[in-house]
Amino acid sequence: MQRRPASIALLAFFLVTVGLFCLFAPNFATTSNFENLMSGFSFVAILAMGQSFPILLRGIDLSIGAMVALAGMVAFDLTMLFHVPGYLILPLVLIAATGAGAINGILIVYLRLQPFIATLATLAAYRGVVYAISGRLLIPKLATTPITDPWIVGIETYFDIGGALGISDYVHLPWFPLSFFLMIAIFITFQLLLLSTKLGRDIYTVGGNQEAARLAGINTRRITIFTYAISGFCAGVAALVLVARLTTSTEALGTGMELTAISAAVIGGVSLQGGIGSMFGPVIGAFLLGVVLIGLTLLGASQYVQQILTGAILLAAVCYDRYLVVQRQRRAAANVGANT
């Protein structure tokens, strides 16, 4: 069910791109490169999945970059300033990030702000909070001290699946980073949520036809707040992955990430019209961006060219999405005709 030509086309495009780079980019088809891809872009995929929820409701969340920084700094402060054990930090960070996301939703629902404006305001405000609570600025020594808490740093662990299965003699598998499995876990959870729970169906309903949802007795306000909270939650997970990878957090963490996440979600076929899209698309979208960036770097293309190409892919994705809509309308019109 929910099978759409868009996802298949996207997957095909992704595979072709990977194939081309494997053929032409030196050192692309190596296990270490795929490790890099997985560890470098899993968190982007997580953010893109989070961003997809507001977009499914015809909203947008511009504040995820600031929320990543906020969550990162909360983790930093808890461990470096307050020496809270890691097993407590992880849930606390996620609660903080989810709360920040929920605040976005509350502003949108109860103050009736447009999502763009509400999250534009919190984009500034959360970044301000990051500077305000930054333990690095408070105690400069901490700026050069890495985080060592095993619970946090442990997120940056690699698993030798091939070795564990005893097949490494036959196939050379990359080691999989934990962040990749986190991403997969979130993917499965969200996909399950969207496709197999009432809540998920309600999200699609509200996004697809808010009036119908209201008439069907769905609490649209609660759903709206929930989607922005999810976006915040994903920012929290991404922040933990980043903090583990960097062994610190910076005030500027996450700058501009909202645009990357929106791009990945839109490339992944999540429609700005609301109610259309799954979690599969954003994940592929994020890794497509990753493949292109890494592949072009290996080919020695200027990074400026990469920016142009990223924009072009984004444009192509919306064009294709638009093309599908037009096709659908044509078919619907033809159907009506056939029945009159």
Partner 1 sequence: MIARWNLKSSAKLSKLAPYALPLAIVFIVIMFSIAEPAFLKPENLIGIIHQMNLIGIMAVAMTFVIMTGGVDLSVGPVLAISGLTAFFAMDAGLGLPIAIAAALGVGILIGTINGTLVAIFGLPPIIVTLAMLSIVRGLALIWGGPEWHLIRDQDAFTFIGTGHIGGISFSIILLLVFAGAVMFVQKRTPIGLIVAGIGENERAAYLSGHRVRLTKIAIYGLSGMGAALAGIVQSSQVHTSAAVYGEFGTELDVIAAIVLGGTSLMGGNGSIGRTLIGVIFLGVINNGMNILNVTLDIQLITKGVIIVLAMALSELT
Partner 2 sequence: MNEAHLIDAQGLGKTYGSLAVLIDANFTVSAGEIRALVGSNGAGKSTLIKILTGAIAPTTGTVKVDGKELVLGSPTEMINSGIACIYQHSNLAPAMTVLDNIFLGRQPTKRFGLLDRKRQRREAEELLQRHAIQIDLDALVSTLPTVKQKEVEILKALALNARILLMDEPTGWLAASDVAKLHATIRTLKSSGVAIVYISHMLDEIFAVCDTVTVMRDGRIISEGKVADITRPSLVKLMVGEKLAKDSAQAGKFKRMARGTGKVRLSANGLTKRGVFSDISFDLFAGEIFCITGLIGSKRTEFLHTLFGSDRFDSGELKVDGKVISFKSPTQAISNGMGFVTEDRHREGLMLGLSISNNLVMATLRKFHKFGLLKRKEIYSATGEMITDLNIQPPDPIKPVRLLSGGNQQKVLLGKWLNLKPKFLLLDEPTVGVDVGAKAEIYAILRAERDKGAAILVVSSDLEEVMTISDRIAVMVSGRLVAIHDADKTTLAEIIGEIGGAAR
Partner 3 sequence: MTEEIKNTTNDRRHFLKNIALGSAAIGGAAMGLFGNSDPSTGLFGVQKANAADDARLKMAFIKYATDTVSSAWSKGIEDVLTPQQIVDYKLLDGQGKAEVQVSLMDTLISDGNSVIFLQPVDSVALAPSIQKAKRAGISVITLNIDATEAHAAHVEMNHYFGAMDIAKAMGDAMGGKGDVAILNAPPGIIIRDLRTNGFVDGMKKHHPEIKIVADQVAEWSRKKAQDVLATILAANPKLGGVYGVNDAMALGAVDVAKDKGLIGKLVIFGNDGETGALESIAAGELTGTQFTDVHQQGRFAASAAVVLASGMVPATAFKKQGHLLMPYVIATKDTVGQITPAQRW
> Which residue is listed with tokens 């929930």?
226
Stretches 52-60, 206-214, 249-257, 326-334: which one binds partner 3 (CB under 8 A)?
Answer: 249-257
257 within 8 A of 64, measured Cβ to Cβ: yes
Binding residues for partner 2, total number by CB under 8 A: 37
If one counts every other C-beta atom within 10 angstroms of the C-beta of residue 261, the result is: 33
Query: Of residues 8, 132, 305, 332, which one binds partner 2 by CB under 8 A?
Result: 332
Nearer to partner 1, 45 or 108 (CB): 108
Check the CA dihedral 4-212-58-334 and report its sign.
positive
Which residues in the 263-282 window bind partner 2 by CB under 8 A? 275-276
CB of 295 to partner 1, least distance (A): 16
Alpha carbon distance 172, 253 (integer Å):
34
CB of 37 to partner 3, least distance (A): 9
Alpha carbon distance 130, 72 (integer Å):
9
Alpha carbon distance 309, 304 (integer Å):
9
Q: Does 251 bind partner 3 (CB under 8 A)?
A: yes
Which residues in the 102-161 window bind partner 3 by CB under 8 A? 131, 134, 136-137, 140, 143-146, 156
161 within 8 A of 176, measured Cβ to Cβ: yes
Residue ranges of alpha helices (H) inside 25-160 are 31-56, 64-80, 86-110, 115-133, 135-138, 150-153
Residue numbers of the site for partner 2 (CB under 8 A)?
1-2, 192, 195-202, 204-205, 207-209, 211-218, 275-276, 328, 331-340
Residue numbers of the site for partner 3 (CB under 8 A)?
26-27, 30, 32-33, 35-36, 39-41, 43, 131, 134, 136-137, 140, 143-146, 156, 242, 245-248, 250-253, 255-256, 293-294, 297-298, 300, 303
